[in-house]
């Protein structure tokens, strides 16, 4: 590397414009867009080294997901489509925060400590969302990548899951799919159409969906997807870019506020979905004739998917272990329903996709979803092979083979690299279609406990420390005892507090049996936290 050239860029063109500390959190760096130029430049440098260590293509996605337009962020995607390894988050944080004239020495330190052969060729794929700040930030990253003499592909404006798809398909020698957007759309839409064609619609299913695209990149992707679907799903797109990104719309808004987004037509019982600003989250909802709002969030999607997969496994006589992964935010009744009614093992992990993803990999088929609508299904290699073999085994009964065939298409509909709003929507739709369900029937399977989330702004979010997958607070010391005392006063009461991984806030979750108690309970726990 030409260190003096890099040094010059670090001290001039990409010098620090922000003196505060930035931290590589649950989903990468995320803060005001104006503070990020130097971070992006440095992440450009770092991904090249990461690529040399892993001897594979690394991804760089510029987005702040469901945050408002003024924010932006960046996350690094490892070769298998997973989030950057934890030990490198620390390295990334260090590199992002040192003074401009220390960038070179830190780079040299990383090279030495990680024993990196810098003569190896490297490759980085870079993508961005539709934010007005994203183009400049991606250019800052490219500036870093180029300064390290690495190859790179700028795939431009893509959803986060599409960027993950690119990384995996590049690294898996096309086994996973063709590394192009066309490959992505074709893969998921072809498989979707095959399943729809082979199942008889026998009930209340309607293929009309009103989709709120949060005025983000998802709108572009869905428009594209529609061309490939050829009418197999009737998607009406709202908030497709004319309004402000994530402002009073999008999956996070709808999930938190439990109300419809701006601009979506209110027609009773019409199936609606909201995705977020980078299209990796999805929630469903509808309004009934009394104008009451009904949410079907990630917990419900997970249950729908797990139930369907279980049925297919039974029909195909496949002895594969199916499991479900949730976080503490999962509604208590959803957990009871999964273990008691569906009899599917369910695990709980801490917030953040990487934790869910890793846990899900412990099953042959792992379904994971956060309540906020971020999730997917992962199939291990041997499960995939067994499914394909069964689908093609002519000596088996046609029912058995057909179920295995359907499973094999499901594998292609799903974006296994990360939660993907678009492929999750197709998955939900094909299941509702197979079951002949409308959205009301889906909602009826069980009822959620009333619940509420509150956030409290704090100086130092690290003041709260939790254990037991965030369900128990160990610092400050007395807090958990107080929460326990509050909780016992309410039937089916449950509450936990945790510090956010993306904002300087402490989050509080409460749930209990009676709707009329929920505000009081939330207020009591908030008071204990203050």
- Exactly one of 51, 65, 150, 274 is catalytic; name it: 65
Tell me which of 136, 263, 441, 500 binds ligand 16G, using CB under 6 A.
Answer: 500
Tell me which of 352, 366, 373, 493 binds ligand 16G, using CB under 6 A.
Answer: 352
Instruction: Give yes or no for a contact between 454 and 507, defined as CB atoms under 8 angstroms apart.
Output: yes
In angstroms, what CA-CA distances link 219 with 159, 245, 398, 430?
A: 10, 11, 40, 21
Binding region for Zn ion (CB under 5 A) out of 221-229, 279-287, 341-349, 362-370:
279-287
Q: How many Å apart are CA 275 and CA 217, to the nearest integer? A: 10
Window 365 to 384, contacts with ligand 16G (CB under 6 A):
370, 372, 374
Binding region for ligand 16G (CB under 6 A) out of 1-9, 45-53, 127-135, 497-505:
497-505
Q: For the chain, what is the largest distance between any 2 Cα atoms, rounded to a whole number of angstroms?
A: 70
User: Binding partner of residue 420 among Zn ion, ligand 16G, none, CB under 5 to 8 Å per kind?
Assistant: none
- Closer of 27 and 338 to ligand 16G (Cβ): 27
Place of tokens 């009073």: 248
Q: Is 501 in the site for ligand 16G (CB under 6 A)?
A: yes
User: Binding partner of residue 218 among ligand 16G, Zn ion, none, CB under 5 to 8 Å per kind?
Assistant: none
Q: Which of 188, 170, 139, 223 is nearest to 58 (CA)?
A: 170
Q: Is 26 in the site for ligand 16G (CB under 6 A)?
A: yes
Instruction: Give yes or no for a contact between 422 and 159, defined as CB atoms under 8 angstroms apart.
Output: yes
- Closer of 372 and 417 to ligand 16G (Cβ): 372
Across the strands, what pairs with 346?
324
Quickly count helices (H) and strands (E) in the chain: 18, 19
Instruction: Give yes or no for a contact between 334 and 303, defined as CB atoms under 8 angstroms apart.
Output: yes
Tell me which of 52, 130, 159, 351 binds ligand 16G, using CB under 6 A.
Answer: 351
CB under 8 Å to 136, separation ≥6 — which residues? 37
Q: Which of 336, 223, 314 is nearest to 275 (CA)?
A: 223
User: Binding partner of residue 370 among ligand 16G, Zn ion, none, CB under 5 to 8 Å per kind?
Assistant: ligand 16G
User: Binding partner of residue 334 among ligand 16G, Zn ion, none, CB under 5 to 8 Å per kind?
Assistant: none
Give the count of alpha carbons within 13 A of 428, CB side only.
33
490: its two tokens: 């309410």
* Closest approach of ligand 16G to the CB of residue 300, in Å: 16
* Closest approach of ligand 16G to the CB of residue 133, in Å: 18
Q: Which of 73, 71, 68, 74 is nearest to 243 (CA)?
A: 68
> Which of the 8 DSSP states describes residue 4?
H
Q: Is 276 in the site for Zn ion (CB under 5 A)?
A: yes
- Closer of 37 and 420 to Zn ion (Cβ): 420
Tell me which of 7, 23, 57, 65 binds ligand 16G, using CB under 6 A.
Answer: 65
- Closer of 357 and 401 to ligand 16G (Cβ): 357
Tell me which of 278, 299, 364, 370 binds Zn ion, using CB under 5 A.
Answer: 278
**φ, ψ at 70 (rounded to 5°):** -70, -20
Q: Is 204 helix (H, G, I), strand (E, B) or coil?
A: coil
- Closer of 189 and 502 to ligand 16G (Cβ): 502
- Closer of 47 and 65 to ligand 16G (Cβ): 65
Segment holding 31, helix H or strand E? strand 29-32
Instruction: Give yes or no for a contact between 511 and 493, defined as CB atoms under 8 angstroms apart.
Output: yes
- Closer of 408 and 502 to ligand 16G (Cβ): 502
Q: How many Å apart are CA 142 and CA 149, to the nearest integer? A: 10
Known catalytic membership, residue 4 = no
In angstroms, what CA-CA distances link 452 with 117, 221, 288, 330, 334?
A: 51, 32, 21, 12, 15
Q: CA dihedral defined by 270, 276, 279, 284, rounded to 10 degrees?
A: -30
Tell me which of 280, 370, 412, 424 binds Zn ion, using CB under 5 A.
Answer: 280
Tell me which of 353, 410, 431, 479 binds ligand 16G, using CB under 6 A.
Answer: 353
Q: Cis ω on the peptide bond leading into residue 476 (within 30° of 0)? A: yes
Tell me which of 100, 154, 503, 513 binds ligand 16G, using CB under 6 A.
Answer: 503
| Percentages (nearest 5) of helix, strand, coil residues in the chain | 45, 20, 35
- Closer of 212 and 276 to Zn ion (Cβ): 276
21: its two tokens: 């500390």
What does the per-residue mask of binding to Zn ion show for 65-84, with x meaning CB under 5 A? Answer: x-------------------
* Closest approach of Zn ion to the CB of residue 452, in Å: 22
* Closest approach of ligand 16G to the CB of residue 385, in Å: 29
57-62, strands of its sheet edge to edge: 29-32, 71-77, 57-62, 123-128, 151-157
User: Binding partner of residue 278 among ligand 16G, Zn ion, none, CB under 5 to 8 Å per kind?
Assistant: Zn ion
* Closest approach of Zn ion to the CB of residue 159, in Å: 9
User: Binding partner of residue 276 among ligand 16G, Zn ion, none, CB under 5 to 8 Å per kind?
Assistant: Zn ion
Q: How many Å apart are CA 160 and CA 28, to the nearest integer? A: 12
- Closer of 143 and 159 to Zn ion (Cβ): 159
Binding region for Zn ion (CB under 5 A) out of 35-43, 272-280, 293-301, 485-493:
272-280
- Binding-site size for Zn ion (CB under 5 A) equals 4
- The site for Zn ion (CB under 5 A) is made up of 65, 276, 278, 280
- The site for ligand 16G (CB under 6 A) is made up of 26-27, 65, 351-353, 370, 372, 374, 500-503, 507
Instruction: Enumerate the active-site residues.
Output: 65
């Amino acid at each position: 590397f030409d260190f003096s050239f890099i040094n010059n860029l670090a001290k001039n063109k990409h010098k620090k414009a922000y003196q505060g500390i930035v931290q590589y959190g649950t989903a990468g760096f995320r803060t005001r867009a104006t503070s990020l130029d130097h971070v992006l430049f440095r992440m450009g440098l770092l991904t090249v080294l990461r690529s040399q260590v892993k001897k594979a293509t690394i991804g760089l996605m510029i987005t702040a997901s469901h945050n408002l337009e003024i924010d932006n962020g960046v996350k690094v995607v490892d070769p298998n489509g997973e989030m950057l390894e934890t030990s490198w988050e620390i390295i990334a944080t260090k590199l992002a925060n040192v003074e401009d004239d220390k960038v070179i020495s830190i780079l040299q330190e990383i090279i030495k400590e990680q024993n990196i052969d810098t003569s190896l060729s490297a490759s980085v794929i870079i993508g961005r969302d539709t934010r007005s700040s994203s183009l400049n930030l991606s250019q800052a990253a490219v500036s870093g990548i180029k300064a390290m003499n690495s190859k790179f592909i700028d795939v431009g404006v893509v959803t986060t899951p599409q960027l993950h798809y690119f990384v995996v398909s590049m690294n898996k020698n096309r086994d996973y799919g063709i590394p192009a957007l066309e490959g992505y759309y074709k893969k998921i839409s072809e498989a979707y159409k095959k399943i729809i064609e082979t199942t008889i619609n026998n009930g209340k299913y309607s293929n009309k969906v009103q989709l709120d695209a949060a005025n983000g990149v998802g709108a572009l992707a869905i428009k594209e997807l529609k061309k490939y679907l050829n009418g197999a799903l009737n998607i009406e797109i709202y908030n497709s870019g004319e309004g402000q990104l994530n402002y009073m719309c999008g999956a996070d808004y709808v999930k938190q506020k439990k109300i419809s987004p701006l601009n979506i037509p209110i027609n009773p019982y019409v199936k609606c979905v909201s995705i977020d600003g980078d299209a990796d989250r999805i929630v469903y909802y509808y309004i009934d004739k009394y104008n009451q709002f009904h949410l079907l969030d990630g917990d419900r999607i997970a249950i729908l998917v797990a139930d369907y997969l279980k049925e297919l496994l039974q029909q195909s006589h496949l002895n594969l272990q199916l499991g479900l992964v949730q976080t503490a935010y999962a509604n208590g009744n959803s957990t009871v329903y999964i273990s008691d009614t569906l009899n599917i093992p369910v695990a709980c992990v801490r917030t953040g996709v990487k934790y869910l993803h890793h846990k899900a990999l412990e099953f042959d088929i792992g379904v994971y979803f956060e309540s906020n609508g971020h999730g997917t299904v992962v199939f291990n290699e041997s499960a995939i092979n067994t499914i394909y073999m069964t689908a093609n085994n002519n000596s088996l009964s046609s029912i058995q083979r057909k179920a295995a065939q359907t499973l094999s298409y499901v594998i292609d509909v799903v974006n296994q690299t990360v939660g993907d709003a678009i492929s999750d929507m197709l998955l939900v739709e094909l299941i509702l279609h197979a079951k002949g369900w409308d959205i009301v029937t889906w909602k009826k399977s069980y009822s959620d406990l009333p619940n509420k989330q509150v956030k409290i702004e704090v100086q130092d979010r690290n003041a709260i420390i939790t254990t037991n997958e965030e369900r128990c607070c160990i610092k400050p010391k007395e807090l958990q005892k107080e929460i326990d005392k509050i909780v016992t006063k309410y039937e089916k009461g449950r509450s936990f507090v945790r510090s956010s991984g993306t904002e300087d806030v402490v989050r509080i979750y409460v749930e209990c049996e009676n709707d009329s108690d929920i505000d009081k309970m939330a207020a009591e726990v908030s008071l204990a936290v203050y």
